[in-house]
Structure 1
Amino acid sequence: MTWLAILLSMLAMTAIVALRYLAASGVFAMLTQRVRPGYHSRLGPQIRREIGWSLASAAIYGIPAGLVAWGWQEHGWTRIYTAWDSWPLWYLPLAPLLYLFAHDTWFYWTHRLMHRPRWFRSMHAVHHASRPPTAWAAMSFHPWEALTGAVVIPALVFIIPIHVAMLGLVLLVMTVMGVTNHMGWEMFPRALVHSKLGSWLITASHHQRHHEEYRCNYGLYFRFWDRVCGTDRGLSPNA
């Protein structure tokens, strides 16, 4: 019965990840069609490939997430907590920032590694086959690349305490930024993108340049590591 419960948890998480992807990417794909009619009208075959790879990635993300969710519910694994007073209230907003920065750090260095020729050909080329990327490309990864992303949050919940609601916020930010950064056009106001705050955040116009030039702008949420390592080449004029 234990193995059945674990399997069901994995299947449930896979379904949740897949539905979350379809809902988020679908909403922003419709927004793209409304704001820029015909922008991706000739990319039907590419979009179908993106959806196929992304649904495969959903299973790879769902398996470790389902195992951890089962362990948390049945045995108290992880440092996820539910009582608001388990940690000081000032820590509530700090925990998501720690998660996002840790995820961003992992993503930057693994992403940069995957741009080495051998790793690129065997793994990352799947993602860059989206030319230009669309809202459906957010999880369009080769299975090995998907695995590098799937382990991050399940690992962090064993290390960094976080309220379950704040964990939900992290997942929301992951989903929205993953989709909006691949739309090929900038949906956020120019006043934000070109502000001091915006100069440290990654949006579509920053990530679009990565898809155009490959050897730059490797970050996921923040431009910190790109700036520290000299790989930040600014915003794409085409987004």
Structure 2
Amino acid sequence: MATASLLPATIGSAIAMTAIVGVRYLATSGLFAWITGRVRPGHHAGLQPQIRREIGWSLLSCAIYGIPAGIVAWGWQARGWTRIYRDPAAYPWWWLPLSLLVYLFLHDTWFYWTHRWMHRPALFRIAHAVHHDSRPPTAWAAMSFHPIEALTGAIVVPALVFAIPIHIGVLGLVLLVMTIMGVTNHMGWEIFPRALVHSRVGGWIITASHHQRHHESYRCNYGLYFRFWDRVCGTDRGIAEFISAA
């Protein structure tokens, strides 16, 4: 296929994926914002100007996430560029759950270190301050990033699919976990049961109770899914006890 004919296909895929990411953001954040209004009436009263900013930055981030994802999706389907596979029997059965954990751990590792990097004073002022302008964060803040920060997050999963085999269904689970945790960690209240948050398992995963402490204190609790790197690096400051678990 000539280069000239590749361009419309890749552009079309990038536009389609941007639309998908945008609809996913609006639907998921909208759902959890609605739940917040039902469960915690008035919790985000008076935050309409902030929420409008969060939506604006997030829709810009949707394009930054959608463009590389769309190009990679086209490359997978049209050229077989990636290591995404459809046949579950292509790899041992145990690789299905293990690949999910591998992807989440590597994504979490990348997020932890780039997030800490974003808290260096110069980068914070230039980029990461956009995210921390959400005071308190709301469900709409999940993708409220400066383009520099959005770009650091947008390249991770598209890069991993070139290196590590993953079933298309498991990849969907990775994206689902990324979406749900990104939104629920910013709701300003704890949607998960107290029994989970305060359990042994809860001591290793991140929920709103843990991430809220980051938005309060800034120099701690940098992780995305797991508390592993925060614990190893001494940056875990526990959870925001004042948030009531469901």
Q: TM-score range by the shorter chain?
A: over 0.9
Equivalent position of 2:146 in the other structure = 142
| Structure 1 residue 126 corresponds to structure 2 residue 139 | no
Shift of 1:156: 0.3
Q: In the alignment, residue 8 of structure 1 is paired with which amino acid?
A: G
Q: Normalization by structure 1: what TM-score?
A: 0.99
Equivalent position of 1:193 in the other structure = 197
Q: Which of the residues 34, 37, 43 maps onto 1:33?
A: 37
Equivalent position of 2:68 in the other structure = 64
Query: What are the residue-to-residue correspondences of 1:203-218 with 2, within 5 Å?
Result: 203-218=207-222
| Structure 1 residue 3 corresponds to structure 2 residue 7 | yes
Shift of 1:90: 0.9
| Structure 1 residue 91 corresponds to structure 2 residue 100 | no
* Partner Cα distance (2:193, 2:74) in 1: 41
Q: Which of the residues 163, 170, 177 maps onto 1:166?
A: 170
| Structure 1 residue 179 corresponds to structure 2 residue 183 | yes
Report the 3-state secondary structure (helix = DSSP H, G, I; strand = E; otherwise coil) of the residue aligned with 1:230: coil
Report the 3-state secondary structure (helix = DSSP H, G, I; strand = E; otherwise coil) of the residue aligned with 2:203: helix
Q: Normalization by structure 2: what TM-score?
A: 0.96
Q: Which of the residues 7, 19, 22 maps onto 1:18?
A: 22
Contact 1:9–1:66, Cα closer than 8 Å, also in 2: yes
Runs (4+) off by over 4 Å: none
* Partner Cα distance (2:6, 2:191) in 1: 46
Equivalent position of 2:112 in the other structure = 108
Contact 1:185–1:238, Cα closer than 8 Å, also in 2: no
CA RMSD of aligned residues (A): 0.5
Contact 1:183–1:204, Cα closer than 8 Å, also in 2: yes
Tell me the alpha carbon deviations over residues 127-169 of structure 1, each in whole angstroms, 9 at most, x when there is no partner: 0000000000000000000000000000000111000000000
Report the 3-state secondary structure (helix = DSSP H, G, I; strand = E; otherwise coil) of the residue aligned with 1:199: coil
